[in-house]
Structure 1
Amino acid sequence: MCLIALAWQAHPRYPLVLAANRDEFHHRPTAPAAFWADAPGVFGGRDLSQHGSWLAASRGGRIAAVTNVRRMIPPNPHAPSRGVLVSDFVGGSLSCAEYADQLSGGAALFSGFNLLLIDRDSALYVTNQPSYRIETLRPGVHGLSNATLDTPWPKLRRLRDGLSTWVAREQTDEDGLFALMGDARPADDSELPDTGVGLEMERFLSPPFIRGPHYGTRSSSLLLATEGELHFRERRYGADGLPSGETDERIALQS
């Protein structure tokens, strides 16, 4: 997952609104969002290479999403998959705070990650870069990409600001949120960050929705929470942003 905007306890109808794009190589094997055979109470997409997830939710009301941290150093080939952080949390019974505390001892084993942990009572941001840190999210609208929370990259500002407007107007139009996630306009060069990948790549990665023959936005996901239900929608894309499928699931929460 490479771009997330979420409204936490900010909308009168939805305690949580989460809109996210997953950017990945198109050849990486992926299962569409569904209930998991090995964890029937968990719903989300699945990375078939490492069997973790980038975004998943459980009937128990636990939700997790992860992004990597863009660092210009070679990845550790022996590091555990960051997707395990999502699957372990949503498939378990620990609260956000309990899981974050438990993770602290082994967080350095993972390559750089940003992790969102959400349960019925709280939402936490957890990262291991530059060192392990836990931050409780205040009610409001937040954004996360491949830097730290709310780092104002153009794509993040665009999606976060759009969600802020959607919340402020107390909207319920889901297609409007998908339109925000589908914005493929590159940012102006004057707005681009310098993350060490070169100007051409910064341009390519700058819009919320990335179109490319080998790498790009693989899915756009929308998760809306109400008092007793999670509404999970996923739109999937192939090379060059061509639609390849859609999932729409309402998940009844356990009381």
Structure 2
Amino acid sequence: MCTSLFLWDQHPTLLFLLAFNRDEFLARKTEPAQFWLDWPNLLAGRDEERGGTWLGMTTGGRFAMLTNFREVAHDVVKYAPSRGALTTDFLKGQSQPLQYLEGLQAEAYNGFNLIVGDFQQHKLAYFSNRSGQAPHELSPGLYGISNGVLESKWPKVEAGKARLRFLLDQTTNVQQLDAETVFQTVMGDTAKVNQNEHLPQTGMSVEIEQLMSSIFIEPCELKGAAYGTRSQTLLLVQRDGVAQLHEHSRPAQRPEEDSCFPWVKVNHTFSWG
């Protein structure tokens, strides 16, 4: 369960901006964002259990990100293929974004939202296997998505978009955008929905919907295990061919360990294109 806010082709110096919170069970082993030894031009975090990733970018300007679609337990296929491979397959391939999405055997997977892009070709495309719509390219704009389809106006998504827009309206170049301010005021927002009627209707209990209703999810119990926001990623793709990735991540921890485990911060600046 994640929250993704992104600006596409609507800023003087930024081609693309992404603010992404990944929510996961605290015990799930995950590698922080780094260039992969087995694929040196690919920068991404890595799920150690299945080997895939939730978001990544290559030095060639390819980009992919994924969020799961929130479904009740009886709709989830236990042995479905890993959705994390959807991102890595695109990042390692050469297909155009729309072509890649149209070629997926999407019905084999549990619910997902997938956004892929080729920044050299100036293309960004979206597909969900739960939307009932065909893959399509995205026009310039500010977008937000969590674990519903892209058109869903979940309260935390709309709040995050408003906060991000406020910060962006005060900048004309990337140097004026302070990464830590984005982490704290946008991605670090712990405010929950205070009126149940505004919660998403996903088939989950009101109690779970409340727990998941903030952009940043503080450690809590979900399905009998510790759960919360595990990583926060800010990706800035400049029009001049420079990209920056800033990530704060919480290492995997056993249930008996202190939930205030220190976060790991990594920063990467690289050329793309």
Q: Please tell me the TM-score bracket, short chain as reference.
A: over 0.9
| Superposition deviation, residue 132 in structure 1 | 5.4
Deviations 1:188-211 (A, max 9, x none): 124222322111111110000001
| Superposition deviation, residue 240 in structure 1 | 4.2
Asked whether 1:157 is paired with 2:164, we answer: no
| Superposition deviation, residue 98 in structure 1 | 2.2
Q: In 2, are the aligned partners of 1:35 and 1:44 still within 8 Å (CA)?
A: yes
1:215 corresponds to: 227
TM-score, scaled relative to structure 1: 0.93
2:81 corresponds to: 80
> Which shifted more, 221-230 or 171-180?
171-180
2:194 corresponds to: 188
Asked whether 1:198 is paired with 2:234, we answer: no
Q: In 2, are the aligned partners of 1:182 and 1:208 still within 8 Å (CA)?
A: yes
Q: Secondary structure at the match of 1:27?
A: coil
> Which shifted more, 192-201 or 143-152?
192-201
Could you list the structure 1 runs, at least 4 aligned residues long, displaced by more than 6 angstroms after superposition: none
> Quick one: which of 166, 183, 192 aligns to 1:178?
183
2:17 corresponds to: 17
Name the Cα RMSD after superposition: 1.6
| Superposition deviation, residue 97 in structure 1 | 1.8
Deviations 1:137-163 (A, max 9, x none): 111100011001041111111111111
Return the alpha-carbon distance in structure 2 between the equivalents of residues 188 and 140 of structure 1. Answer: 29
Q: In 2, are the aligned partners of 1:7 and 1:167 still within 8 Å (CA)?
A: no
Where structure 1 has 5 or more consecutive residues not aligned to the other structure, the ranges are: none
Q: How does 1:32-71 map to 2 (within 5 A)?
A: 32-71=32-71
Deviations 1:18-65 (A, max 9, x none): 000000001111011101111111001000111000011101101111
TM-score, scaled relative to structure 2: 0.87
Q: Secondary structure at the match of 1:15?
A: strand
Q: In 2, are the aligned partners of 1:210 and 1:241 still within 8 Å (CA)?
A: no
Q: Structure 1 132/108 Cα, relative in aligned 2: closer, same or farther at 3 Å? A: farther
Q: Secondary structure at the match of 1:20?
A: strand
Percent identical residues? 35
Q: Structure 1 184/56 Cα, relative in aligned 2: closer, same or farther at 3 Å? A: same
2:255 corresponds to: none
> Which shifted more, 45-54 or 211-220?
211-220
Q: Structure 1 86/46 Cα, relative in aligned 2: closer, same or farther at 3 Å? A: same
| Superposition deviation, residue 130 in structure 1 | 4.2
1:101 corresponds to: 102
Asked whether 1:111 is paired with 2:110, we answer: yes
